[in-house]
Amino acid sequence: MAAAWQDVVRDAAAVREAAAVAVDAALLAGVLMRTGEQPNASDVVNYAPFTLLPSAVPRALFEQAYAVQQDFNLLVDAVSQNREFLEQTLASTIKVDDFTARLFRIYKQVLEEGLAQTVFLGINRSDYMFDCGLEGTAALRQIEINTIAASFGGLTSRTADVHRLVLNVLGKSEEASQLLPNNPAKGLALGIAKAWELYGSQRAVVMFLVEDVQRNIFDQRCIENELWNRRIRVVRKRFRDVFEQGSLDASRRLYMDGQEVAVVYYREGYVPQVYDEQNWEARLLLERSRAVKCPDIATQLAGTKKVQQELSRQGTLEKLLPGHPEAIARIRATFAGLYSLDEGEEGDRMAATAIADPDRFVLKPQREGGGNNLYGEELREVLEKIKDSPERTSYILMDKIRPQPALNYLLRAHSPLQVSECISELGIFGVYVRQGRELVLNRAAGHLLRTKAIEHADGGVAAGVAVLDTPFLV
Ligand code: ADP
Ligand code: MG
């Protein structure tokens, strides 16, 4: 990929000046995070980490990622409604992975009772890296699709303005004018508002289900404030609050201390650590309710890494999306090599291949949130240990994507200004609303570019590894 800012990236004086302007611009624009010391107070806040310079992204791949997003929305929605597929695909995983098993139990329980929910809202983010082929042409490769709590759509709605200013300061006004507008906050709020409207009760609120530790609150506020401006009331509650205040009426409408809830937007609930028995009970209450869950538990399961791996198997997409050959072709063109480690010949062969050549692969457990994958020597050691045990099936194996690094500066509060070799990950937000069987909204809602230094194999912005960025199309 073109090194876009070759002339300025080594100019120490220009970089120092631009960085000072950039940090203040981020604060002014609201690219903010609470501090680790005071994660639940807004008295003193920091800028969220971001790159000094926008990163070059090949225009064709950027457009490809946008063009396939509605297809991915359709696919996730189809998987979430296909009980047979989810049961078969996750059968081996739930034998060994307690967290997925527990989610699955709730899924089955609500199906057996009969769904009260009739309106469905999906907000997802499909993440990609640009794989550098031998001939030097980059290809779009999906890393994963996040179907629950996909974050940074709010803050990233404000980063393009910051980078535009930085480029102006660096004497690159022509390039500054080419940065694309981007407003996922608005697009996601539109989906939530549509779901709220179809739920059909003016009095009912949208409930953001939030973490105990709320460092990333400003990202969520961007979406909340869009809803308030549409005169939709928003409340922020934790699982614990649901356990204490939540109830269902005879038609399974959800109430929080007497206040009806139309939409539950989860920004929490995707890692096992948050669930004690009371929080599991709260989750079950929400899933049984008529409220629109974003996502419902079936859609959360549709986003598991095991499902991703099975989707790449020959013939699976054709079964899930009959009558959509073009969508299938667009989706498949983004897949990297994905391999099952289930018990049997195929799994044995892949385990042996990965042990022999660990640098070719990434080993992934059924977890979200960054920092869980295994690479290189560690991958080899773990696979050696579990290769003959059922535990192997709690992982999938994926080809490692190798993007072309570029120089940039990662601006973080209290960190020295230094140049790093960086790679980027592009996310496209998707939003859809379904009423009964009819899809009434299906769109791409904006993008997120995250960039990290190459020494980190894993991890996102919240994990403290990647930072916010803006694509500069080349
Ligand atoms: P999580 O659910 O934890 O976000 P991901 O599948 O997104 O799991 O992996 C976390 C990070 O690991 C990604 O953001 C990316 O930086 C890196 N990663 C994941 N898969 C690959 C891959 N196949 N090749 C290279 N890097 C990868
Ligand atoms: Mg990820």
Convert the pLDDT of each residue in 78-107 to its tens digit: 999 999 999 999 999 999 999 999 999 999
Q: Whose Cα sits closest to atom 17 in ligand 1?
A: 458
The alpha carbon of 143 and the centre of ligand 1 are apart by a number of angstroms equal to 6
Pick the catalytic residue: 332, 337, 343, 369? 369
Lowest mean pLDDT among 23-32, 130-139, 282-291: 130-139
* Strand 406-411 versus strand 419-435 pairing type: antiparallel
Task: Look at residue 134 and tell me whether its pLDDT is greater than 80.
Answer: no
Name 294's bridge partners: 265
Measure the CA–CA gap between 360 and 376, rounded to whole angstroms.
Answer: 8
Measure the CA–CA gap between 122 and 430, rounded to whole angstroms.
Answer: 8
Contacts of 356 (CB under 8 A, 6+ apart): none
Q: Is the CB of 369 under 6 A from ligand 1?
A: yes
Residues placed in the known binding site for ATP = 144, 305, 364-373, 375, 398-401, 425, 452, 458
**Ligand 1 atom, smallest distance to 400 CA:** 24
The stretch 456-466 carries a mean pLDDT of: 84
Task: Look at residue 2 and tell me whether its pLDDT is greater than 70.
Answer: no
450 is catalytic: yes
The stretch 8-15 carries a mean pLDDT of: 95
Task: Look at residue 432 and tell me whether its pLDDT is greater than 80.
Answer: yes
Measure the CA–CA gap between 31 and 24, rounded to whole angstroms.
Answer: 10
Pick the catalytic residue: 34, 305, 306, 380? 305
**Ligand 1 atom, smallest distance to 372 CA:** 3
Find the helix or strand (DSSP H, E) in which 127 lies.
strand 119-132
What DSSP assignment string belongs to 370-390? SS--EEHHHHHHHHHHHTTSG
Task: Determine the residue type at 206.
Answer: V
Task: Look at residue 434 and tell me whether its pLDDT is greater than 80.
Answer: yes
Query: What's the Cα-to-Cα distance from 289 to each of 17, 99, 208, rounded to whole Å?
Result: 54, 22, 16
Q: What local confidence, expressed as pLDDT, does residue 1 receive?
A: 44
Contacts of 174 (CB under 8 A, 6+ apart): none
Q: What local confidence, expressed as pLDDT, does residue 404 receive?
A: 94
Q: Could you tell me where the DSSP H helices lie in 304-375?
A: 305-311, 316-320, 325-332, 345-356
The stretch 161-175 carries a mean pLDDT of: 97
Going through 35-81 in order, the beta strands assigned E by DSSP cover 45-47, 50-51, 55-57
CB 104 within 8 Å of CB 94:
yes
Q: Which residue has the tokens 């079950």?
A: 284
151 is catalytic: yes
Q: Which residue has the tokens 């189809």?
A: 78
258 is catalytic: no
Task: Look at residue 3 and tell me whether its pLDDT is greater than 70.
Answer: no
CB 267 within 8 Å of CB 151:
yes
The stretch 409-430 carries a mean pLDDT of: 97
318 is catalytic: no
**Residue 407 CB: number of other CB atoms within 10 A?**
15
Compute the Cα dihedral for 285, 288, 293, 299 and give only its sign: positive
Distance in Å from the first CA to the final CA of the chain: 8
The alpha carbon of 22 and the centre of ligand 1 are apart by a number of angstroms equal to 28
**Ligand 1 atom, smallest distance to 401 CA:** 24
The alpha carbon of 360 and the centre of ligand 1 are apart by a number of angstroms equal to 14
Q: What local confidence, expressed as pLDDT, does residue 463 receive?
A: 80
Convert the pLDDT of each residue in 386-416 to its tens digit: 999 999 999 999 999 999 999 999 999 999 9
The stretch 352-374 carries a mean pLDDT of: 95
Using only the alpha carbons of the chain, give its radius of gyration: 22
Percent share of the chain, pLDDT over 90? 95
State the chain's mean pLDDT as an integer: 96
Measure the CA–CA gap between 70 and 73, rounded to whole angstroms.
Answer: 5
pTM, two decimal places: 0.97
- Joined together, the tokens standing for residue 434 give 């379904």
Query: What's the Cα-to-Cα distance from 108 to each of 54, 84, 394, rounded to whole Å?
Result: 45, 11, 20
